[in-house]
Amino acid sequence: SQQGEEDPQALSIQEGENATMNCSYKTSINNLQWYRQNSGRGLVHLILIRSNEREKHSGRLRVTLDTSKKSSSLLITASRAADTASYFCATDADDYKLSFGAGTTVTVRA
């Protein structure tokens, strides 16, 4: 069953702006991960945040996790054309697998 759901489905921003996308999930989790998928390519791991963490940074990426609301957000700061991709959250709900949502498609306009 699908666990994470991303919002919005699609996002279009100007280069240099920040992009924020959200992920909501249904059950308790051990960790939550974000992945990027460029068109026609495989998914690439971006960041993992554990259930006892609230915020994590990696370069221009900032991820927050609110377990009380069962939600996470991914912020990409100072976006670039190369950030154009689909972004997926994946949750580990203690069932030995990662469950993905359908992703947020981000378009960065030059």
Partner 1 sequence: DTAVSQTPKYLVTQMGNDKSIKCEQNLGHDTMYWYKQDSKKFLKIMFSYNNKELIINETVPNRFSPKSPDKAHLNLHINSLELGDSAVYFCASSQVQTGELFFGEGSRLTVL
Does 58 bind partner 1 (CB under 8 A)? Our answer is no
Residues that bind partner 1 (rule: CB under 8 A) add up to a total of: 26
Q: What is the DSSP string of 22-69?
A: EEE-SS--SEEEEEEE-TTS-EEEEEEEETT--EEEETTEEEEEETTT
Does 28 bind partner 1 (CB under 8 A)? Our answer is no
Which of 7, 12, 18, 44: binder of partner 1 (CB under 8 A)?
44
Using only C-alpha atoms, what is the Rg of the chain?
Answer: 13
CA-to-CA distance for 54 and 100, rounded, in angstroms? Answer: 20
The CA-based angle 96-43-14, given to 5 degrees, is 130
Which of 70, 85, 101, 108: binder of partner 1 (CB under 8 A)?
101
Q: How far is the CB of 16 from partner 1 (least distance, A)?
A: 26
Footprint (CB under 8 A) of partner 1, residues 70-89: 86, 88
Which residues are near partner 1 by CB under 8 A?
A: 2, 30-31, 33, 35, 37, 40-45, 48, 86, 88, 90, 92, 96-103, 105
